[in-house]
C-alpha cells in the first residue's frame, strides 16, 4: 500500500469517526477547524490521486450531479405498516390476541418499546459493509432510489465494521423540529411557501433531485429495524437494535423491554408526556414482540404484522373557525398575516392565534375569513393554520380572499 493510500484510508476512518461522535452521539470530539483541515487534506489527496476516491469517502457525501428522476427499486422484503392502538383498552386487546396466538406453550413474552418517529420510512442496503443503495418506502414493494440524497446525511454510515455480506437497515428520515422552524422562518422571510410540518419538509428534502439541496437541509435518521440479511441472525429485536448502535447507526436511546403490561402502558404514557421536549416529532410508541421467532410465527395480516402495534398519541391538529385574518408589520416592513381563531384545544393547549407566515403562503393555502380551518402545533411554538377544511373549500358562501390593509396599521 502506498503511503498516500494508507493516509487516505486513515483520514476516511478518522473523519467518519468524528462524524459519528458529532452527529450520532452528540459528543463532538474535535473543533471545526481540525475537522475541516482533515477533510481538506483528504480532498487534496484525492485530487492528486483520483484512484483513492472510494465510494465510502466522506468527500463523496455531497458532490453527485442532479438527477433527472429517481429510479424505482424493488425492496428486498416488503416495507410493512403498523396497526394502531388508540388507547389502553386496544393495547390490552392486542396483547391478549398475541398471547392467545402464541398458545400455552409459548415462552414468556416480552415487549420492546421505542418512539414512533413521524418522518419518512427509508431502507438502506449494505453489501459487504458498504452502503450501496437507499430507497423510500413507496408502495411498500417498490420505492424510489434516493441514495445520493441519503449519502448527504452524516448519521448514515457509508461503511460499517464487522458487516455480513448483506444487510438492509430500516428507519425513519426526519428533520429536527428546530431545523424545521428555522427553515420555515427563512422561507417565510424569502416569500417562499412554507412546509406544513417537519414530516413534509423531510419528504420534500429527500425528494430533491439535486443532492446539494438535500445536503443543505439538516436531515437525520433514526434506525429501528433490520430487513433482509445474509449471514446475520438475532433472537431478539432488542439485540438487533444494539447491533445497529454498535455499527454506528443512530438508534433511539430510550428503547426498553417490558415483561408486564403495566410497565408497557406506563412507558407509552411517559413518551406521550415527554413528546414536546424532544427535538424530533413522534406520533406514538411502537410496541414490538421482542422474541423474533414468535414475531415471525405471528405473521402478517394484510400489510400489518401481528407482532407489533403503534400506540398513537392524540393528534397535534384540530379544526376550528377562522374569525379573521389580521395583519402585523414584520421586521423588514412587509405585512405579515396571522389568524384570529375560535379558541380550540390542540394536544392539550388552547389556541386562539396562529401564524399564516406571509402573503404568498396565505394565497397558496387560500384561507379566508369565516373558513373552517385545520390548525396544527408542530416543531414550532407558534401554532399554524394548515389549510381550510375540504368542507370550507367546497362552500358556496366563502368570503373574498383576504388582502393586506392599504395603510400601514403601525404608522
Interface ranges with ligand IVH (CB under 6 A) = 80-82, 114, 116-117, 121, 137, 172, 224-225, 286, 305, 308, 310
- Of residues 50 and 302, the one with the C-beta less far from ligand IVH: 302
307 burial class (0-12, 13-18, 19+ CB within 10 angstroms)? buried
- Of residues 35 and 224, the one with the C-beta less far from ligand IVH: 224
- Of residues 135 and 286, the one with the C-beta less far from ligand IVH: 286
Spell out the residues 6+ positions from residue 305 whose beta carbon is closer than 8 angstroms to its own: 80, 82, 295, 298, 299
* Shortest distance (Å) from residue 170 CB to ligand IVH: 7
Interhelix angle 32-48/3-19, nearest 10 degrees: 140
Q: What length does the chain have?
A: 411
CA gap 311, 114 in Å, rounded: 10
CB atoms within 10 A of CB 106: 15
- Of residues 45 and 226, the one with the C-beta less far from ligand IVH: 226
Query: Which one is catalytic: 65, 100, 116, 396?
Result: 116
Burial call 205-232: b when 16+ CB within 10 Å, e when fewer: bbebeebeebbebbbbbbbbbbbebeee
In DSSP notation, 344-391 reads EEETTEEEEEEE---HHHHHHHT--TT-EEEEE--SSSS-EEEEE-HH
- Of residues 8 and 244, the one with the C-beta less far from ligand IVH: 244
Backbone torsion region of residue 24, taken as left when φ is above 0, otherwise alpha when ψ lies between -120 and 50, otherwise beta: alpha
Spell out the residues 6+ positions from residue 238 whose beta carbon is closer than 8 angstroms to its own: 112, 255, 257, 290
* Shortest distance (Å) from residue 174 CB to ligand IVH: 9
Q: Report yes or no: 257 and 238 within 8 Å, Cβ to Cβ.
A: yes
* Shortest distance (Å) from residue 121 CB to ligand IVH: 3
The three-class DSSP label of residue 128 is coil
Written as nine digits, the cell of 257 is 423491554
Written as nine digits, the cell of 340 is 384570529
* Shortest distance (Å) from residue 131 CB to ligand IVH: 19
Q: Any catalytic annotation for residue 116?
A: yes
* Shortest distance (Å) from residue 96 CB to ligand IVH: 20
Residue nearest to ligand IVH (CB): 121
Q: Where are the beta strands (DSSP E) in 267-334?
A: 282-289, 300-301, 304-305, 308-312, 317-329
CA gap 315, 322 in Å, rounded: 20
CB atoms within 10 A of CB 152: 23
Positions marked active-site: 116
Amino acid at each position: 500500500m502506498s503511503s498516500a493510500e494508507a493516509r487516505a484510508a486513515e483520514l476516511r476512518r478518522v473523519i467518519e469517526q468524528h462524524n459519528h461522535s458529532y452527529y450520532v452521539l452528540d459528543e463532538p470530539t474535535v473543533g471545526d477547524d481540525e475537522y475541516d483541515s482533515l477533510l481538506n487534506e483528504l480532498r487534496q489527496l484525492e485530487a492528486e490521486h483520483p484512484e483513492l476516491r472510494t465510494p465510502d469517502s466522506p468527500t463523496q457525501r455531497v458532490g453527485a450531479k442532479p438527477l433527472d428522476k429517481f429510479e424505482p427499486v424493488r425492496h428486498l422484503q416488503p416495507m410493512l405498516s403498523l396497526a394502531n392502538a388508540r388507547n389502553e383498552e386496544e393495547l390490552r386487546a392486542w396483547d391478549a390476541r398475541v398471547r392467545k396466538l402464541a398458545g400455552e406453550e409459548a415462552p414468556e413474552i416480552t415487549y420492546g418499546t421505542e418512539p414512533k418517529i413521524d418522518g419518512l420510512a427509508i431502507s438502506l442496503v449494505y453489501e459487504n459493509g458498504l452502503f450501496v443503495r437507499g430507497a423510500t418506502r413507496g408502495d411498500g414493494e417498490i420505492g424510489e432510489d434516493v441514495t445520493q440524497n441519503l449519502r448527504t446525511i452524516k448519521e448514515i454510515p457509508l461503511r460499517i465494521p464487522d458487516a455480513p455480506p448483506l444487510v438492509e437497515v430500516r428507519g425513519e428520515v426526519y428533520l429536527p423540529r428546530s431545523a424545521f422552524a428555522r427553515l420555515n422562518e427563512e422561507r417565510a422571510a424569502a416569500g417562499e411557501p412554507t412546509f406544513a410540518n417537519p414530516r413534509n419538509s423531510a419528504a420534500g428534502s429527500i425528494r430533491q433531485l439535486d443532492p446539494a439541496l438535500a445536503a443543505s437541509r439538516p436531515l437525520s435518521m433514526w434506525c429501528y429495524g433490520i430487513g433482509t440479511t445474509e449471514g446475520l441472525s438475532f433472537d431478539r429485536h432488542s439485540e438487533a437494535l444494539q447491533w445497529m448502535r454498535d455499527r454506528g447507526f443512530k438508534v433511539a436511546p430510550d428503547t426498553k423491554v417490558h415483561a408486564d403490561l403495566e410497565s408497557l402502558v406506563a412507558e407509552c404514557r411517559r413518551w406521550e408526556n415527554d413528546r414536546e421536549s424532544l427535538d424530533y416529532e413522534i406520533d406514538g410508541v411502537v410496541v414490538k414482540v421482542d422474541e423474533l421467532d414468535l414475531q415471525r410465527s405471528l405473521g402478517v395480516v394484510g400489510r400489518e404484522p401481528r407482532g407489533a402495534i403503534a400506540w398513537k398519541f392524540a393528534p397535534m391538529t384540530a379544526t376550528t373557525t377562522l374569525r379573521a385574518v389580521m395583519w402585523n408589520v414584520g421586521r423588514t416592513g412587509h405585512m405579515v398575516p396571522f389568524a384570529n381563531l375560535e379558541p380550540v384545544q390542540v394536544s392539550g393547549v388552547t389556541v386562539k392565534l396562529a401564524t399564516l407566515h406571509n402573503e404568498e403562503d396565505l394565497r397558496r393555502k387560500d384561507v379566508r375569513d369565516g373558513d373552517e380551518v385545520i390548525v396544527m402545533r408542530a416543531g414550532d411554538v407558534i401554532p399554524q393554520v394548515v389549510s381550510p377544511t375540504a368542507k370550507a373549500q367546497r362552500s358556496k358562501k366563502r368570503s373574498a380572499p383576504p388582502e393586506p390593509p392599504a395603510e400601514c396599521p403601525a404608522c
